[in-house]
Each structure stands twice: as structure tokens, then as C-alpha cells.
Structure 1
Amino acid sequence: MSDIRIVKASGQAENFSEEKLLRSIQRAGVPEKLRREAVEHIREKLYQDMPTSEIYRHILEYLGKSPYPHSGSRYSLKQAIMDLGPTGFPFESFIASILNRHGYKTETDVILPGLCVSHEVDVLAEKDNQKIMIECKFHNRIGSRTDIKVALYVMARYQDLTVGWINRDNATKLKEVWLVTNTKCTTDAIAYAQCMGIRIVSWGYPEKGNLQEMIEKEKLHPVTVLTTLNNLQKHLLLNNHMVLCRDLADNNLAFDLLKLSTDDVKKLKEEIEAL
């Protein structure tokens, strides 16, 4: 299969890899036998320069018709995060909720004084008496990357804030700066961040502690991953600051808000449990 090219959303072509596809399906918790069958299903449909988006669609359809239909929800995690948009505000709430589950205290949209100007910090996190400035960069278009301009912007704001608190006794003393994004970062952005001490948490980077791992390890999937809810219902939850599937499991307020029947509540709970 190495002679079959596939085209990523960025436009970049690469050789099709069964192993890579198997790993991506495995992360969704799909049983081994079904993983092999799904790859065989794709193998039969492969053609030269096939878009990865089409492969993704075929996998979702295949899993949806399998004995494990909810595994498709886990497989669609990356798209589900993009569906938090179009604005970045739900993504900020999502990141704050993830960090809360990992032992951090968080605030969102905090205004802090810098030396030159005040800055709105997307997420202000605290753990072990260490305060962290977190910049959330959200993309809702497949193939987008977070580039060095974003890293430069984050560092400039952080430096203004850290110099600013030196001259203010009561100012929030920041110890770290993070750049969190739902896409991959360019090599220049990563190199600059490593040089300047910015911690990047992105899709697949770093190898340990990346965004995907933080979500999957603790099962912190966003509500947009759910197939038992329509888009209107999902965004109704987001608008009411309910961003994690785990927050819905026994949340009668959410069920009332969505006006779900007893049968629909049962189906929703089953899908959440399957995650």
C-alpha cells in the first residue's frame, strides 16, 4: 500500500499507512477485530490521491454501523473540538474544564495589568501556588496550523505582564506561560517556544501531555462529540457553560434544558458511558 498516496487537509501528500490508520482507530477504543475490518474496508476503497477527509468519513460510517457504534464518537474527537466554534470562547471553557479535572484552579477571560497595557488572559490557571498564563488558539478549519506569529504574540504579552507585576505589589505573579491549541504547530513555532520557555500543548505535541492525551486519558470529551444530540442541542449546552460529556451524566438540569424524553436521556447516558 506504500505506493498509494493520500492527501491531507493541508494539501500535503503522503503514502498511505495501514499502521497509522490502525493506531488512530485504536485510540478510539475500537476492539482489535473491528479495527482490522475497518482498515480492510478502507483498503477496498483506496485510490490515488484520496483525501484523508474521505477516509475519515468512511471510517465513521463503518464504525456507526458496527456492533460498537459509539466508538465513532471517540474517533471523531479532533472534529468535535473544531465543532466547538466558530468562536474560541467555548474552547477556552473546554481547556479550563480539562485543567480543573487535572487538579488546576482556573479562571477565564481575566484582565491583568501589564507594564504598558492591560491584557485579557484566556485562562489563568493555578496549581501548587504557581500561576500560569494560558493563551488558547482555536482553529475551526481542518489543516490549519498555529505558526510562529502566535508564539511571538503570546511571548510579548507574557513579558509585558511579568514586567508589569514587578512594579505592582498586589499584581498577579505569573510563573509560566502556555500556548494551547487544537491543531498542530509549525516547526518554527515549536523551536521558538522551546527557546523562550513557552509550554506548547497542541494536537499530538508534546509526545506526553499533549491535548489529545489530556482528553483521552481522563475521558474529558467535549459535548460536541455526542451523536445522540443535534448541533442545536450541543450549542445550547455550550452557551450554558456545559462543555464536558462527563458533566452531563447525572445532570438533570441539562436534561431539562434539552427537553429530552426518558428514552433520549437513556440513549445519551449510554453514549456517555461508552466514551
Structure 2
Amino acid sequence: MKVIKHSGHVVPFDIEKLKKSLQKSGASADLIEKCLKQIQDQIYEGITTKKIYKLAFAILKKAANGYAARYNIRSALQMLGPDGFFFEKYISRLYAEEGYKTKTNLILQGKCVSHEVDIVLKKENLIWMIECKFHNSQEKSSDVKVPMYILSRFNDLKTKQHTLFLNNETINSCIIVTNNRFTKDAETFANCSKINLLSWDYPRNNSIKNKIDETGLYPITCLTTLSMFEKEQLLILNLILTKDLINNSESLYKIGLTEKRIKNILKEASQICKLI
């Protein structure tokens, strides 16, 4: 059976790939098998992967909001827009969890001109600059022009010393992060130019989705018990992660939610963070 991907490409239906994605939700083996059977009974030739995702999401949500939320991570990253400001904060938190010192939204003077830098990292006296390329659509990829442009900015900045975490520090390397994917040409150019890339599924064993699985840092936008407006209100309050919400539940009162809804939201958040 053939299915249609977000990109429009037609590919064979891969039940093992679907099974692996369902396993990421934390659902039991029995629930996953039930989900796979129901989906197989409903799919048809030419169905879109988006439709399959919606079928799986609905089945998981019926079983437990937490399963659906964990299955919803890629879409949740897109909700950190529309301009990517909160995506930058989220990426900063991911790296902080790995032991990096981080700063966001800096204006740094290069040799020729000044540059706005999304994130800087420091670990063991090495410093990286991070540029985030946020896309509101899953179909959009970052092409080769992105690393070519950012390489020129990095080259302008690395020749100067900056006041970052201490005085007179030098930027040693560059990372480009996107919530979607890079084209093959972008990957080839970046590798040739010694620029690090991070996307939803690249590098293969250290991608954004790998980092989320390893750290358990789920964005609050994955919560199914919150409306988009409520998520935006919480993001403005600087609550980026689901675990932030658990530790700052009073913020839910601040945005005017009822006791009953708060209880359900915190239950889902705890399920996601595997606290219950």
C-alpha cells in the first residue's frame, strides 16, 4: 500500500516505522498493537501520512492524554512560533540540560558589522554560536543558502573577542538548528565547512528528537489539555517546558483556569514527565 508524505512523495506504508513512533509515546505494547490494528483497518491506498498521524493521535488520546502529547512532539515544536522566539528558548534549555552554559538573543560586533545571535553556548572553555531557522510548516526545509549565509556571519564574528560569559572570549564554532530538516546540499556544505547542524532527525543519533527522548524535556505546547491561546499565555510567562508547569502550577491560576482543568492539565504533564 502506498501513502503520501508531507513532501508529496509517494512511499510504501511502513508499519514498523509507525510502530516505532508509537513506542515513543510511552504507550504499552498492548495499546500499540491495538492502535496498529485499528489504523490498518482504516487506511487505504493513497492516504496521507498526516491522516495516519491523526488516526494514531486520536487512539492514543482516548487511552491517555499523556501518550498523545508525547506522540505530538514534532507538531508541538511548530507551535513554538510563529517567529521562532520560543523555539530558540527551548533549544537553549535542551543544551543547558546537557551541561552547557547558555545565553540567548545577543548583539555581537563582528570584524565588519554587528550581528544578532540567537544563542551562545559554553562548555570546557569552548564557545559555540547557534542560529535557529524556524519553519511554521513541516514541508519547509532549510536549503544550502542557510549554511552559506550563516558561515559568513560566523567568519565575521570569530575574528573578534566578545564579552559573553567572561570578558575577551572567542567564538570557536557554529551550530545551525531547525525544527524541520536540512536539504542534502545543506548537509554536504555544512560538513565541508565544519558547521554543525541539528534538525528534527539529524544527526542520526543526536537529533532534536533524540535529545528530547534522552532528556525528557517536552515543550508545554505538546499538552493536549491546553488550548493554543493558553499555551501562548504560558510561553509569555516563560514556561517553556512541561516540567516548568509542574513546578509552577500557580501560573495556571494566573491565566484564569478552573481547579478542575488545572488538575487535568497537571495530570497530563505528570504522565508526560513519567511522574505518575
What is the TM-score when the length of structure 1 is the normalising length? 0.93
CA shift at 1:69, angstroms?
Answer: 3.4
- Single out whichever of 260-269 and 18-27 deviates more from structure 2: 260-269
Equivalent position of 2:27 in the other structure:
30
Task: Provide, for residues 163-197 of structure 1, a one-character-per-residue CA deviation record: whole Å limited to 9, x for no partner.
Answer: 2349xxx5540111101111111111111111111
Equivalent position of 1:235 in the other structure:
232
Matches of 1:33 and 1:73 in 2, distance apart? Answer: 19
Task: Provide, for residues 207-241 of structure 1, a one-character-per-residue CA deviation record: whole Å limited to 9, x for no partner.
Answer: 22210111121111111101111111100011122
Q: Does 1:159 align with 2:155?
A: yes
CA shift at 1:256, angstroms?
Answer: 2.8
Matches of 1:35 and 1:238 in 2, distance apart? Answer: 32
Equivalent position of 2:74 in the other structure:
78
Out of 135, 152, 155, which is 2:131 matched to? 135
Matches of 2:231 and 2:52 in 1, distance apart? Answer: 25
Q: Does 1:107 align with 2:103?
A: yes
Matches of 2:168 and 2:146 in 1, distance apart? Answer: 25
Would you say the 8 A contact 2:65–2:268 is kept in 1? Answer: no
Alignment of 1:1-275 (within 5 A): 4-66=1-63, 68-165=64-161, 171-275=168-272
Matches of 2:266 and 2:108 in 1, distance apart? Answer: 40
SS at match of 1:125: strand
Matches of 2:98 and 2:117 in 1, distance apart? Answer: 20
Matches of 2:155 and 2:250 in 1, distance apart? Answer: 42
SS at match of 1:65: helix
Matches of 2:147 and 2:198 in 1, distance apart? Answer: 12
Task: Provide, for residues 7-40 of structure 1, a one-character-per-residue CA deviation record: whole Å limited to 9, x for no partner.
Answer: 1111111100110100111111111111111111
Matches of 1:147 and 1:30 in 2, distance apart? Answer: 36
Give the percent of matched residue pairs that are identical in Structure 1 and Structure 2: 35
Matches of 2:249 and 2:51 in 1, distance apart? Answer: 38
Matches of 2:47 and 2:76 in 1, distance apart? Answer: 22
SS at match of 1:85: coil
SS at match of 2:37: helix
1:70 maps to amino acid: G
Matches of 2:223 and 2:28 in 1, distance apart? Answer: 20
5+ long unaligned stretches in structure 2: none
Matches of 1:69 and 1:257 in 2, distance apart? Answer: 23
Would you say the 8 A contact 1:228–1:271 is kept in 2? Answer: yes
CA shift at 1:82, angstroms?
Answer: 0.5
Would you say the 8 A contact 1:112–1:172 is kept in 2? Answer: no
SS at match of 1:135: strand
Task: Provide, for residues 121-179 of structure 1, a one-character-per-residue CA deviation record: whole Å limited to 9, x for no partner.
Answer: 0011111221110011111102211111111111111011112349xxx5540111101
Query: RMSD value over aligned CA atoms?
Result: 1.4
Matches of 1:209 and 1:56 in 2, distance apart? Answer: 24
Would you say the 8 A contact 1:255–1:265 is kept in 2? Answer: yes
SS at match of 2:270: helix
What is the TM-score when the length of structure 2 is the normalising length? 0.93
